Chains A and B, each alone.
Chain A
């Protein structure tokens, strides 16, 4: 009984051993049937216009060299495909025994393509006529286009009339051909719009199929423009396709002011201790109304400068106002030139004018000197008169 049991155990163990050895061999024997196609990425997602280099391995499991002929049996319509390896277009590939080779499926996603999933099937037929197929799914994630795009990240800019506005546009040629685009604008009169490509001013730009070109647009508004929002349309036009972008310019009003005199003369003379009236002129050279213009001064010590009026309530663009400044010099001022600085200020803008004021001393002492000499002369005349005729 015991011997019988032992026999069973031995047989089982043998069978186990046999199984351990035989079972790995069985699939290998099945694979020796021929070549197999393999890729890691059997399903990918792409966008229209993208080119795909799809690496595929062909595995030879047999013990003999396999000559596999390759072909694409299924592909979406309008997609151009080719199989390449080692820089060649290939249709047949030989693989050493127990080895593998790789080749590439090259294709380009057409620009005009519907969103969705597209299937490819590659078939390898070995020497013995056995077939291995590899299905590939390509997911197109976007609706494909066949057009030109003119885009910018920042279509709106703000600044005053003095500043210039720089927009960065991207011109995308999503057509199948190279295009020469003429760049133009419908800006109102007085606006200056420049197109620049690689720091060169241009009027047209050549863009290859399915590439993009950066275009810098510089917009300079007219000097005397009123505050507001302006839309500047820019176009890129090629024969078959065109694109337009709208650039928005938000002009804030400019605050500019000029302080001068009606004659433009910024010098005057004054007698020490006396008062002199200087007429000042304030010009609003900006594009916004100026309000509450205050006049102030920095003058030498003991000098007085008074303005009439002291505050100008409002000054419209292009208008000018007259202010009288009464400058009173110090009685102790020495003769010669002094500087009086007059400023006009609003919260937005200020301007100042330097006056060179020549102080003249009073001629009174001069006359007193003349008088003294005349007295002395009279004294001598008296002496002549008294003693002379003896």
Chain B
């Protein structure tokens, strides 16, 4: 088990790298790109909202800033389509992060419901600006990205896929690092009792703001890549009011505050949504939304804490009831199974565990 824990991230990474070679159909790589971009955004959102317990519903603002920043930079400096815009993605994330400093500082003066409402308000302010600052954003008609003519249709998705994968791995890496740092422990303490944490010397104000800015940085980068992939930015869908709802659903479904939950939630939800949208939109077109809704209801009913914590609890219960019936490992390296380890040698390897199971 311990062994498995060390190896499994590498297996997942390898699977991620190999995916477009195994399934090269652009329909599916497109779904994978969206799913990975949402995974990166959800993981980053979780660093702030999952760890501190402050539910931010305005991160679409930073998604939009990232997207618009890249579009405006490409237009202004007449950057040709191709790899160059990818190098500018970190800069777009940085611009989103810079914008998040004052906006976050204002919102974080409040707590709970007020905080949620203020983050939503900051999103609408930025969406309005994108409609109205015409000289910069070209108003409601938006800005087109330069076309990427040199990439063959079969190749086109690959660079986007790997950039999306890289962003996901980075967001997950930062989540891991934060979770294992003193800073991250402070964030979790804030989630449980902010005033008590302050009273124990946790710098609550700056910790919350730093977490907010880190999440905005990643969401800004995701916005830039997402918009470049779509080929244009427009106020209505680059500043998308449903973005935060989607992210929050993904994180809640996977398990808020956990490391892998947000990734799992977004991979499951975004890919099934995209798949359903592709295959079940004939006629009235609403069928996939019904599927989406029912899936969510099922999760709420059966796994209210999210997939990862619920699965962990189920696994722990399974282990507790079944460890005793596992046969002892003849090599003696039975690992984390104390019953199996105590059994060999006495010749009662089969009988002893069963007795323990009865007890």
Q: Do A and B bind each other?
A: no
> A interface vs B, CB < 8 Å?
none
